[in-house]
Amino acid sequence: MLTLGVEEEYLLLDAATGLPVARAAQVREAARLQPSLERGEVQRELLQAQLEVATPICHDLEEAGGHLLRMRLALGEAARQEGCRLAACGAAPFTDRLPVPVTDTARYRTMHDDTRLLTDQQLITGMHVHLGIADRGAGVTVMNGLRAWLPLLIALAANSPLWQNTDTGFASWRTVVFGRWPVSGPPPFFGDADAYDRRTHALVERGLIRDSGQLYWHIRLSEHFPTVEIRAMDVQMRPDEAVMLAGVVRALATRILSDAKAGHAIAPVEQEMLAAAVWHSARHGCTSSVFDPLSGRLAIAGDAVAALLDHIDPVIGDSADRRHIVPVLERLLRDGNGAARQLRRLRADGRGALVAMITEQTTGV
């Protein structure tokens, strides 16, 4: 099995109103006093109502889940000490008229100068899965193979239906907002690592993006570490759902590498087909049909998930990963993903109950 790490971005919300609060610096300082948090585990993000954590390199899902729960609990306590709540929802459900200030770093100030309104609207949070793949050629193989699975991953992970006090009609509004950057969405199919490097470096050299950090594709190769980064998914309300998705991504990547070693070529999905399928998943989540990459057509969500499990079964077998993947996927199909649960709670019990549900499920307490 490949090593993996998980990054999660969170919002800081007022417990009473659900509005984002610009207290990231204070919460980060309070987190330094939490004995269960290691130095450097809590990082700043673009806006002052956001924070990010990253697990260490993990070898199994149990380890990754333990780190995520540990960090969520400790950071949640730090947020409570500063009069706000930690929230793992893919977009701020409620906002007021004033934008949240940008975090005071040179990079973020420059981004705001370049793209003022777009930066102000980045009250969105995702989860990133990092897979340890040292060979860049193998990394491109994984990128190419995972492209077709992006719509299903986005549908399962959709957790951002609300935006600026409005039901957007989308399950993952974060996917729409994040797709506004110039190099974003599903990555193209690359012939090899040299093609990836040549084409990405050209974007920087020709001044179209400032640096490689602005490659906001759903999947990219890390420029600094021997990893492939999968960045397509909304942050998950429940930590066990984050672990499940990380496990699915790792199992798919392992299957892709195994198939490549056996000489099975990857059939690329056309870029326009993939972009439309991603949009369809952002719109509908798991409440409608989803794109099934094995058939190349839309399928009922339950059928697409069943096909996914059959596909990765040779990888997860009877391993410990199975119990972190299969039961959680079955519950998600039964109870709904984060987007469905948010809308159901809001409609049934109102705004306060929704904020309480988000913050309670974030820390699992």
Mean pLDDT across 260-286: 96
What's the CATH code of the domain at 160?
3.30.590.20
pLDDT at 290 over 90: yes
DSSP calls for 306-362: HHHHHHHHHHHTTSTHHHHHHHHHHHHHHH--HHHHHHHHHHHH-HHHHHHHHHHHH
pLDDT at 25 over 90: yes
Estimate to the nearest angstrom the gap between the alpha carbon of 304 and the chain centroid: 20
* Domain-embedded: residue 235: yes
Structural contact between residues 30 and 82, judged by C-beta atoms closer than 8 angstroms: yes
Its domain, for residue 331, covers 4-346
User: What whole-number distance in Å separates Cα of residue 285 and Cα of residue 297?
Assistant: 16
Using 50, 70 and 90 to split pLDDT, how confident is the model at 20? very high
* Domain-embedded: residue 354: no
What is the tens place of the pLDDT at every residue in 216-262? 999 999 989 999 999 999 999 999 999 999 999 999 999 999 999 99
Contacts of residue 63, defined as CB under 8 A and 6 or more positions apart, other chains included, come to none
Q: Which amino acid is at 251?
A: A
What is the tens place of the pLDDT at every residue in 156-178? 999 999 999 999 999 999 999 99
* Domain-embedded: residue 361: no
Query: Taken in order 213, 339, 155, 135, is the CA torsion positive or negative?
Result: positive
* Domain-embedded: residue 133: yes
CB count in 10 Å sphere of residue 106: 7
What is the tens place of the pLDDT at every residue in 339-356? 999 999 999 999 999 999
pLDDT at 206 over 70: yes
* Domain-embedded: residue 168: yes
* Domain-embedded: residue 360: no
* Domain-embedded: residue 363: no
Average pLDDT over all residues of the chain = 96
Please give the model's pTM, rounded to 2 decimal places.
0.97
What is the tens place of the pLDDT at every residue in 42-58? 999 999 999 999 999 99
What is the tens place of the pLDDT at every residue in 83-140? 999 999 999 999 988 899 999 999 999 999 999 999 999 999 999 999 999 999 999 9
Residue in this structure with the two tokens 């930690």, named with its chain if needed: 86
**What three-state secondary structure class fits 42?**
strand
Structural contact between residues 233 and 245, judged by C-beta atoms closer than 8 angstroms: yes
Task: Give me the pLDDT at residue 95, please.
Answer: 94
**Any alpha helices (H) in the chain, and if so which ranges?**
24-31, 61-81, 106-114, 116-120, 136-146, 150-157, 173-178, 193-205, 239-261, 271-284, 301-316, 321-335, 338-349, 351-363
pLDDT at 365 over 70: no
Q: How far apart are the first and last CA of the chain?
A: 31
* Domain-embedded: residue 326: yes
Task: Give me the pLDDT at residue 1, please.
Answer: 80
User: What whole-number distance in Å separates Cα of residue 45 and Cα of residue 40?
Assistant: 13
Total domains, the chain: 1
Residue in this structure with the two tokens 């056309």, named with its chain if needed: 270
Using 50, 70 and 90 to split pLDDT, how confident is the model at 39? confident
Task: Give me the pLDDT at residue 72, please.
Answer: 98
Calculate what percentage of the chain has a pLDDT beyond 90: 95
Q: From the DSSP assignment, how many helices (H) and strands (E) are in the chain?
A: 14, 13
